[in-house]
Amino acid sequence: MNKDLLLNRYQILKELGKGGFSEVYKAYDTRMYRVVAIKKIPASRKTAPRALREARTVALLNHPNIVTLYDFEEFEDDYYLVMEYIEGATLAEILNKKSPLSCDQSIAIASQICLGLECAHLNGIIHRDIKPENLMLLQDGRVKIMDFGIARLKSSTMTRRGDILGTLAYMSPEQAQGEYVDEATDIFSLGVVLYQMLTGVSPFAAETSGATIFKVLNADPVPPSRINPEAPRKLDVVVLKALEKDPEARFETATEMRYKLERCRTSSVSPQKLLKPLILVAQREEEEEEIPGGLDRLRERIWSVIGDHAESLKRGIASTVLALSFWLAFQKFPFYPGSITLFLPFIILLFTFLTPSVGIASSFALLLPAIIKYSRSLGILFASFSLIYWLTFSRKKPLTSLVPLFIPIAAHLNLGIVYLFLVGLIFSPPLAACLSGLSCLGLEFYDLFTGHPVLRFTDIPNEYFLFKSLKHLGLTGVLKQLIAPFLRHPFLIYQVILWSGIGFIMGVMTIKRRFSSSLLSILVGSALLVIGYTWIPTILNIPPVSYGGLMQRLSFSLIMLLILLPLIPFKHH
């Protein structure tokens, strides 16, 4: 087939796959100058209805989340479906290498499947075989629904009552019993796929076909949150509603399910950013074969292991820093007996690692009595700030909310500017701006409370030691003492705004996640830092930072970044 043009038009490039009913090839369309996928189906009494059904149903659909059919040909003893060639990985391939997925990744994939099903259902088409093997994830983060081979029109009588078509573990109860199926059967299958993405297991998997059908018909699945604590309870509700045995109890439409899923999202990151790492995971084996060996292979394997255990590593580091921070706070505010003071940080570490939002709330609650004992007014302010911070930030993004705790450590190591740049490189623009500003403000208060000789990144002498001066003051006095340094030195307020602006601009420049854009953003961030600390303050009548001291810190930070970035394969950034 490779030597001659198929159908006098298509040059076969390679075979993509082979199944029980068909073979799929990658081909080049010499007439339209494009790469296509061709599904070859042998003509027979058994396969002819399937080929015709797939061609007619897909031809009715034109949607970004459904594979596009270009042409349908019958030649000699075969049928040929000419479709768009999509490059990516099936969800099955991804789940084989990385499972479970994060909640936001699972929601992003399921929401796009809902969009594709909305189009199909509006055209009266029921897919009947939604499963990971039939869902393709593209390089740009889109999800495509494939293989409409057993799809049917709602008005069609081609499939008789009693016929069982589909994949057992993803079948709805009515489909498994050979009863009439409608949109609800696709919603059930999508519920199974979503459950598998969230937990890494199928809710109805069993060793035999009979046992699988029995579980589909009779077994109630365990809520996903019991298997994966990261899954929120409100997502349990969505999944279990999609998996109701009674079709009438499920979502009425894929649109309704999509709306409910979108409300469970905890991140505003685009699907492209969320899902592109999954493509990289699926392609890892091929890429490893291309690595020549030596240092490159070692580096790739190290970061592959880090990528496979990214969530555990993030939790471990964040919970350790939180526990260490509160251990230091307990030393400053003695309240608990010595043995308990040593034990409490381990409790905080364990709680935060297992359930980050609960661990953060627990740490605030444990520290509050110690602060109230030292100063009731300061305790009231701490309780108010902690509650607001937890409700607006830590409850939804617990690990991200702990990022500002790293800035004192970075500043002590003279890596404060490195910290600022990494925040701009890693997070989305609004989040980078928020974290950068909060970190700068937190560092200023840290210095003001601890009496550090010089406020970091400024030439302002630190004449304040708030930890000692607030002890016997009332609420009004505490507020005045906290505000006084900022009123006397407006540069402290300006510095927070400067950091927020740099974080936002760097976040905007690195949205596309290219190595070149990251390097450019670092250079732009450096220029903005120099301008912001030396030139703009003179316009605002604020004493600028000395140029020599700033360049010394900046040079050290740039050297550290230049050492760090090449050590990390860019796809892991």
Instruction: Give mean pLDDT in consecutive 10-residue pieces for the chain, a chain of 573 residues.
Output: 74 83 88 90 68 71 88 84 89 90 94 95 89 91 82 49 63 90 94 96 87 90 90 93 95 96 86 81 53 52 61 84 86 80 86 89 91 89 93 88 89 84 87 92 88 72 80 87 90 93 90 74 89 87 79 81 64 45
Contact 558, 457 (CB under 8 A): no
Write down the pLDDT at residue 79.
Answer: 84
**Calpha distance 27→70 (Å, rounded):** 13
pLDDT at 385: 93
How far is the C-alpha of 81 from the C-alpha of 75, rounded, in Å?
11
Instruction: Confirm or reject CATH 1.10.510.10 for domain 89-281, answering yes or no.
Output: yes
Answer for the pair 67, 60: CB distance below 8 angstroms, yes or no: no
Q: Are residues 322 and 402 in contact, defined by beta-carbon separation less than 8 angstroms?
A: yes
pLDDT at 284: 56
For residues 16 and 18, what is the distance between their CA atoms, to the nearest angstrom? 7
Tell me the CA distances in angstroms from 332 to 326, 370, 371, one per residue in order.
10, 9, 9
DSSP state letter for 461 = B
Residue type at 242 in one-letter notation: A
Burial tier of 528 (Cβ tally within 10 Å: 0-12, 13-18, 19+): middle
Which one, of 154, 145, 149, 214, lies nearest residue 181 by Cα? 154
DSSP state of 548: H
**Domain 10-84 classification at class level:** alpha beta
**Could you give the C-alpha distances from 352 to 143, 266, 267, 453, 481, in angstroms and in order?**
34, 18, 20, 33, 33
Q: Can you state the percent helix, strand and coil of the chain, rounding each to 5?
A: 60, 10, 30
- The domain segmentation of the chain, as residue ranges, is 10-84, 89-281, 292-401, 403-573
74 is written with which tokens? 């019958």
Of 317, 326, 333, nearest to 347 (Cα)? 326
Cite the active site residues. Answer: 129
- CA dist 251 and 439 (Å) reads 44
pLDDT score recorded for residue 453: 65
Alpha-carbon dihedral 314, 317, 319, 320, rounded to 10 degrees: 170
Give dist(CA 194, CA 224) in Å, integer. Answer: 10
pLDDT at 454: 61
Other C-beta atoms lying within 10 Å of the C-beta of residue 457: 23
d(CA 52, CA 45): 11
Bin 428: left if φ > 0, else alpha if -120 < ψ < 50, else beta. beta
Per-residue confidence (pLDDT) for residue 572, from 0 to 100: 42
